[in-house]
């Protein structure tokens, strides 16, 4: 009934860290009713999906994670909910077809359906619309855990990759390329987006696309880089969204980013956590993200000699967008109408310090982290080699 291998364990650990950070940084005053229940449903559903041995249990977990989005009025706008529902139906169709012992051509259809569901859930172009839209309009904390569950990627690896039958290399090549295109597109839009929530949404799409591209490019470097980057994105995005939520609690509504200038002076710890998370997310040295993206670049350039050069470009765009967001939120002269805010409280300091230390120690000892993901990477490379 349940299966706990290295892949599942890695996903559970990343999600647990994400959830703890999100809960610790969620301001009680802004918390809508039933947020705790919603978080429990998303976390529980994700864990159920991770450890499920049967596809039906996985599907149950997948659906469970979507319940809060459907019933929580603040969580996600209707258009995004319907897109996610469509993705779920596509996944269900794929799993039903898979249960009927398909032939080679039908197995390819299974892969296509599961990949389609995964692309929707990960916000890959052309299904990217819902992520920045949802983060812009919805509840950050529930979405923080929902997005960082990376359940689309999990489904793709667990139920998609082993089913590649007909012309597998072309499939992987096109989907990996789609990941690179998404990373560039989202990085570009992150630079020009005006509202901080949308910038964070685009950054998440861009970085999730890095992971998709690494997994589908299929080389040992790319797969390992993708698995390491999965952890980096989960921790860094949880930190970014958590810090942003903490800022919202201190400054009423963040409708005009210019209203927030100069918060770094009063909240230096929040500012430092934010900048460390940005650096890790966009792969600058001193953080684990640097090595994850280095591996991803290497594999992308091997598989897509021209398009692969787009991945460093996407990282560059994300980095500029990230620094721009940091400067908008934390630097500059504080307006007279902006309240004097308090820095991180003791509980929040722990929630900020632990992920920062994880990201920075990982940057000093990348081989240790890679060793933790080596078995899973070898298993995924083996799955792709079976095609």
- DSSP labels for 278-299? HHHHTT-TTSHHHHHHHHHHHH
Greatest CA span in the chain, whole angstroms?
68
Instruction: Provide the 3-class DSSP secondary structure of residue 52.
Output: strand
Residue with smaller CB distance to other proteins, 106 or 328:
328
- Nearest distance in Å: CB 294, other proteins: 8
Residue with smaller CB distance to other proteins, 11 or 193:
193
CA Rg value for the chain: 20
Residue with smaller CB distance to other proteins, 55 or 366:
366
Q: Please, which residues have CB within 8 angstroms of residue 38's CB and are 6 or more apart in sequence? A: 68, 72, 75, 139, 142
- Nearest distance in Å: CB 370, other proteins: 6
Are the CB atoms for 158 and 50 separated by under 8 Å?
Answer: no
Residue with smaller CB distance to other proteins, 151 or 370:
370
Using the CB atoms, write b or e for 192-230: b if 16+ within 10 Å: ebeebbbbbbbbbbbbbbbbbbbbbbbbebbbbbbbbbb
DSSP 381: H
52 DSSP β-pair partners: 2
- Nearest distance in Å: CB 69, other proteins: 15
Residue with smaller CB distance to other proteins, 154 or 185:
185
- Nearest distance in Å: CB 296, other proteins: 11
- Nearest distance in Å: CB 144, other proteins: 14
- Nearest distance in Å: CB 254, other proteins: 7
Residue with smaller CB distance to other proteins, 166 or 324:
324
């Amino acid at each position: 009934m349940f299966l706990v291998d290295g892949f599942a364990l890695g996903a559970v650990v990343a999600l647990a860290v994400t959830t703890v950070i999100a809960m610790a940084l969620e301001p009680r005053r802004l918390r809508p009713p039933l947020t705790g229940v919603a978080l429990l449903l998303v976390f529980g559903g994700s864990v159920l999906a991770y450890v499920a041995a049967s596809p039906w249990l996985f599907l149950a977990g997948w659906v469970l994670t979507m319940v809060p989005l459907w019933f929580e009025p603040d969580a996600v706008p209707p258009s995004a909910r319907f897109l996610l529902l469509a993705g779920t139906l596509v996944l269900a169709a794929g799993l039903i077809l898979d249960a009927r012992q398909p032939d080679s051509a039908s197995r390819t259809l299974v892969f296509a359906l599961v990949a389609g569901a995964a692309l929707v859930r990960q916000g890959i172009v052309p299904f990217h619309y819902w992520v920045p839209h949802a983060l812009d309009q919805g509840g950050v904390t529930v979405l923080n855990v929902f997005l960082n569950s990376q359940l689309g990627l999990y489904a793709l690896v667990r139920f998609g990759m082993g089913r590649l039958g007909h012309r597998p290399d072309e499939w992987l090549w096109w989907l990996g390329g789609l990941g690179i295109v998404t990373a560039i597109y989202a990085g570009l839009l992150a630079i020009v987006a005006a509202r901080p929530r949308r910038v964070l949404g685009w950054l998440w799409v861009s970085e999730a696309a890095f992971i998709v591209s690494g997994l589908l490019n299929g080389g040992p470097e790319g797969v390992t880089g993708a698995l390491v980057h999965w952890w980096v994105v989960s921790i860094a995005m949880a930190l970014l969204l958590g810090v942003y939520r903490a800022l919202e609690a201190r400054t009423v509504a963040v409708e005009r980013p210019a209203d927030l200038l100069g918060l770094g002076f009063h909240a230096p710890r929040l500012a430092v956590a934010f900048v460390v998370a940005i650096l890790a997310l966009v792969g600058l040295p001193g953080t684990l993200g640097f090595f994850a993206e280095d591996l991803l670049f290497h594999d992308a350039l091997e598989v897509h000699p021209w398009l692969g050069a787009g991945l460093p470009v996407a990282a560059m765009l994300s980095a500029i967008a990230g620094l721009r967001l940091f400067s908008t939120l934390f630097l500059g002269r504080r307006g007279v109408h902006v309240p004097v805010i308090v820095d991180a409280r003791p509980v929040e300091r722990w929630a900020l310090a632990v992920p920062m230390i994880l990201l920075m120690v990982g940057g000093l000892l990348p081989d240790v982290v890679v060793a933790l993901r080596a078995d899973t990477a070898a298993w995924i490379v083996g799955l792709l080699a079976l095609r």
